[in-house]
């Protein structure tokens, strides 16, 4: 059986580490579909796994990479045939399953999505879990009656993958947006992505009263901590906050006042175990009416090779990245 390159995370006596190595399909977790991987991408979870700064994998060694896009090479599931173009995001890849930072992947059929018409393989990975998560947040906001006339949507962590894509999705859906950022020098970039307003994070009101002046129609939050508590105090009546990340802190120090006096809803966003009908519908939206404009120019920071992934992950952990890293593995496919 021929070998191929994979970025594998190992657990050793001194901790976790990642390295490129030759593996075979027999080394991988089970799955019905063999995919020749064309592209993957880097998310914060990937950076935690590859740098060893987070315990992401459940079992070692594990091929890193929670996302992939490529072409089916073989399948024992009749839903997929050789030559089909597919993608996978989350669904346990890089965690309980071997992931997409490899030349080949063996994937359960249930984890795959047929590449929707309107998206190329590279566009699918420019979006990846970040784009899927942003779209899932928008879907939940709309399902809970968020509407543009309620006011602007605040987006925190706006230079990161989820935040940057969320700005474009919200603009496509008719919302005004405010990018809340700790990098105010990125204001021109954020406006190009779709922000109507750029708000320096250090200008936000610090904790004091359980309710502040209502400013935002709703929010998509990637930070948690003090910033999420601020949003709870400042979202208008019947607004929604989609809670996605904890880049600032997993803690939430707030009161029930916004919930019971303004009807604010806090919506949890979990992009791994998503009902399949939702997953398919969201990818159809991302390939159609919600598709961000100029994906590669506005969203992709760099296209890198497998050997460059560890260095890029260090930059992600350090907060130095703006936009998305796409990993070209077999991009000729």
Is 278 within a domain? Answer: no
pLDDT tens-place string over residues 85-137: 999 998 999 999 999 999 999 999 999 999 999 999 999 999 999 999 999 99
Q: Is 264 found in the same domain as 137? A: yes
The pLDDT of residue 252 = 94
Q: Is 191 found in the same domain as 318? A: no
253 burial (CB, 10 Å; 0-12 / 13-18 / 19+) is exposed
**Which tokens hold the place of 297?**
């120019």
The pLDDT of residue 282 = 97
pLDDT tens-place string over residues 181-213: 988 889 999 999 999 999 999 888 777 789 999
Is 135 within a domain? Answer: yes
Mean pLDDT, the chain, rounded, equals 93
Domains identified in the chain, total number: 2
The pLDDT of residue 331 = 64
Q: Is 236 found in the same domain as 179? A: yes
pTM (predicted TM-score)? 0.93
Distance (Å, rounded) from C-alpha 333 to C-alpha 330? 6
Q: Is 114 found in the same domain as 135? A: no
Residues in the chain: 333
Residue 333 has pLDDT above 60, yes or no: no
Domain that holds residue 193: 130-268
Q: Is 235 found in the same domain as 189? A: yes
Q: Is 107 found in the same domain as 151? A: no
Band (332; pLDDT cuts 50, 70, 90): low
Q: Is 259 found in the same domain as 316? A: no
Q: Is 156 found in the same domain as 101? A: no
Are 217 and 146 in contact by the 8 Å Cβ rule? The answer is: yes
In the chain, the percentage of residues whose pLDDT exceeds 70 is 99
């Amino acid at each position: 059986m021929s070998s191929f390159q994979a970025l594998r995370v190992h657990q050793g006596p001194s901790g976790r580490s990642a390295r490129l190595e030759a593996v075979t399909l027999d080394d991988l977790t089970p799955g019905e579909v063999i995919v020749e991987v064309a592209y993957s991408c880097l998310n914060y979870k990937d950076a935690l796994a590859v740098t060893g700064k987070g315990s992401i994998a459940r079992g070692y060694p594990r091929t890193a990479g929670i996302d992939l896009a490529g072409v089916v090479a073989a399948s024992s599931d009749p839903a997929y045939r050789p030559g089909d173009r597919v993608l996978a995001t989350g669904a346990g890849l890089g965690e309980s399953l071997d992931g997409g930072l490899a030349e080949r992947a063996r994937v359960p059929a249930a984890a795959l999505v047929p590449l929707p018409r309107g998206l190329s393989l590279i566009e699918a990975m420019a979006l990846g879990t970040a784009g899927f998560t942003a779209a899932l947040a928008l879907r939940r906001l709309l399902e809970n009656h968020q509407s543009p006339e309620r006011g602007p949507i605040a987006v925190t962590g706006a230079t990161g993958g989820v935040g940057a894509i969320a700005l474009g999705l919200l603009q496509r859906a008719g919302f005004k947006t405010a990018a809340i950022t700790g990098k105010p020098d990125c204001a021109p970039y954020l406006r190009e992505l779709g922000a109507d307003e750029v708000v320096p994070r250090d200008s936000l009101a610090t904790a004091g009263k359980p309710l502040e002046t209502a400013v935002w129609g709703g929010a998509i939050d990637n930070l948690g901590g003090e910033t999420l508590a601020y949003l709870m105090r400042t979202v208008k009546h019947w607004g929604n906050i989609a809670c996605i990340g904890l880049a600032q802190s997993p803690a939430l120090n707030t009161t029930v006042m916004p919930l019971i006096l303004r009807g604010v809803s806090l919506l949890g966003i979990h992009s791994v175990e998503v009902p399949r009908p939702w997953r398919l519908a969201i990818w159809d939206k991302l390939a159609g009416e919600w598709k961000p404009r100029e994906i590669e120019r506005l969203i992709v920071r760099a296209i890198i090779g497998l050997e460059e992934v560890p260095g890029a992950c260090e930059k992600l952990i350090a907060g130095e990245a703006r936009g998305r890293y796409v990993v070209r593995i077999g991009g000729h496919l």
